[in-house]
A and B are shown apart, each in its own frame.
Chain A
Amino acid sequence: MLQNYSQPLEFTNLTTWIDSTLGANLPSFWSIAIEMVLVAVALLAVYSLTAMILIYVERKITAFFQARIGPNRVGKYGIFQTVADVIKILLKEIIHVNKVDKFLFYAAPFFMIVASMLTFGAIPFAQGLHAVDFNIGVFYVTAVSSLGIIGVLLAGWSSNNKYSMIGAMRSGAQFVSYELSAGFALMTMVVLTGTMQLSEMIESQRFCWNIFNGHISAIVAFIIYLISGHAETNRGPFDLPEAESELTAGYHTEYSGLQFGFFYLAEYLNMFIIASIAATVFLGGWMPLQVRGWDAFNQIMWYLPSYMWFTIKVFLLIFFSLWVRWSFPRLRIDQLLNLEWKYLLPINLVNILVMVLLVLAGWTLNDIF
């Protein structure tokens, strides 16, 4: 029998309590409607809070990497800097540019935000705390997150600006290429776990996180996923689409005020989403570090609630991504595409076969021990 060591701090208690109370006291239509509103409010709150925290964390960490102090005026240690920025960006005028394709220009932020929100909803934040849990979870995540690129292409094309156009084209080629690697790396882990549902994937990593379970193959897949996830979010050494010294701001040059804010928001959220999918698929998601048979140890590990484990893993990955971002110079577009098509993709295809061999021969850690 698997023990959960359920504890008072978990959100599962709260959500099941709300569900049962509403179900008992109201007709099903109203209870579902109220739950929909609750889910929406919770999502919006977590979504915007995550973005604000991430922006602050990024600015502060970047400052440390560059031996600066970073934001330090608004509030103690500048913790209210992002709040001030949000208010400022809300009060900025949305400039109507003459020659843009109006419909596509205004539709682009919708694509960016909706795509990131749909992916965001599929992330298991803690035990029993996820909005959408399809049985094709991993596939859903790769499919939905790639909708964002439509927003980028629309933004670049409709802006009628050369910088935007070049930025969008670069971004399209880059995203489309690295999407393959990310998908294949996730597929390697699907081979290992034998399920695509994210909650089942986490459950299968109870005593052995995937990255240990699949050892060689899983580590290769993890590194490939980190690289391609980094490239998909247009960050770090892969930030050619918005290379500010050559393209001003890339595909969102013409956007101003909150419309620009939406692109900014989606970018940060995508960074978070990539990190949390990596944490979920490779590092066990919200599952604490447990060892089979060490009951006392496992119980100690469960004293930290599952959302804390998730947050720690995700923020370690984000820190790593920032580290990479500020350590490497920007790639040229041909180097970027070569890296994907001549190295990562062939390695990935071979890696899947190696993983199948490991699984079929019974050489995964779960099989050995």
Chain B
Amino acid sequence: MSNATLFLTVFLTGLLLVVAGLGMAILLSPKSFNTQKGEPYECGIPTHGTSWMQFKAGYYLYAILYLMFDVEAIFLFPWATIVRELGVQGLTSIVFFLVILGLGLAYAWRKGVLQWK
């Protein structure tokens, strides 16, 4: 079988597991109604307002930094597979790439992004 077919099989298996499991649970499980049950669980204290609100920006800064390095990783993976054939030239050219990225990290560090406030 080709890899694409197998990939599809694995994907469908994952979906099937959740659908079948939930279906079985819904059929087997008892149902009862109680107004208290529908409340959000916050340790017995009535919820104050919604939780879909503005959130600490610190988390997003890390996400943005992550994006920078993750895109870099996409470029680095093909390079990593053929670095043996590229030889010294491959090493020198990637050093520039890594230095620029390192500067990006250093800039973020200096600006205090990595400081949790």
Q: Which one of B13, B37, B73, B81 lies within 8 Å of A95 (CB-CB)?
A: B37
Which residues, 98 to 154 on A, are CB-close (under 8 Å) to B?
A: 98-99, 109-110, 113-118, 120-121, 131-134, 136, 138-139, 142
Shortest Cβ gap from B63 to chain A (Å): 6
In the complex, A173 has a CB within 8 A of chain B: yes
Contact of B114 with A345 in the complex, beta carbons under 8 Å:
no
A117: B residues at CB distance < 8 A:
10-11, 13-14, 17
State the interface size on chain A (CB cutoff 8 A).
83
In the complex, A84 has a CB within 8 A of chain B: no
A96: B residues at CB distance < 8 A:
38
Which residues, 73 to 111 on B, are CB-close (under 8 Å) to A?
A: 73, 76-77, 80-84, 87-88, 90-91, 94-95, 98, 101-102, 105, 109
A349: B residues at CB distance < 8 A:
98, 101-102
Complex: how many Å from CA A105 to CA B1?
36
Stretch at the interface among A75-83, A250-258, A295-303, A307-315: A250-258
Measured CB to CB, the residues of B under 8 A from A are 1, 3, 5-18, 21-22, 24-26, 28-32, 37-43, 47, 50-52, 55-56, 58-59, 62-63, 65-66, 69-70, 73, 76-77, 80-84, 87-88, 90-91, 94-95, 98, 101-102, 105, 109, 114, 116
Of all chain A residues, which has the CB nearest B68? A180
Q: A109-B18, A341-B114 are in contact. Are A254 and B13 (CB under 8 A)?
A: no
Q: Which one of A36, A120, A169, A262 lies within 8 Å of B9 (CB-CB)?
A: A36
**Known contacts A36-B5, A353-B95; can you find 19 more A-B pairs with CB under 8 A?**
A36-B1, A90-B28, A117-B13, A162-B51, A163-B42, A170-B59, A172-B63, A173-B59, A173-B62, A183-B73, A190-B81, A196-B77, A258-B25, A262-B21, A337-B116, A338-B116, A341-B114, A342-B114, A349-B102
Contact of B83 with A356 in the complex, beta carbons under 8 Å:
yes
Contact of B73 with A180 in the complex, beta carbons under 8 Å:
yes
In this complex, which of A32, A36, A338 has the most chain B Cβ atoms within 10 angstroms of its Cβ?
Answer: A36
In the complex, A161 has a CB within 8 A of chain B: yes
Q: A121-B10, A159-B40, A254-B40 are in contact. Are A40 and B98 (CB under 8 A)?
A: no
Q: Which one of A131, A138, A165, A341 lies within 8 Å of B51 (CB-CB)?
A: A165
A115: B residues at CB distance < 8 A:
14
CB-based closest 3 A-B pairs: A334-B116, A117-B14, A121-B10
Interface of A is mostly: helix
In this complex, which of B18, B22, B105 has the most chain A Cβ atoms within 10 angstroms of its Cβ?
Answer: B18
Q: Give the tally of cross-chain contacts (CB within 8 A).
A: 213
Complex: how many Å from CA A99 to CA B28?
25
In the complex, A97 has a CB within 8 A of chain B: yes
Q: A99-B40, A132-B3, A172-B63 are in contact. Are A93 and B17 (CB under 8 A)?
A: no
Contact of A114 with B63 in the complex, beta carbons under 8 Å:
no
Complex: how many Å from CA A123 to CA B105?
33
Shortest Cβ gap from A225 to chain B (Å): 14
Q: A114-B15, A118-B10, A194-B81 are in contact. Are A180 and B69 (CB under 8 A)?
A: yes
B90: A residues at CB distance < 8 A:
356
A40: B residues at CB distance < 8 A:
9, 12-13, 16
Of all chain B residues, which has the CB nearest A115? B14
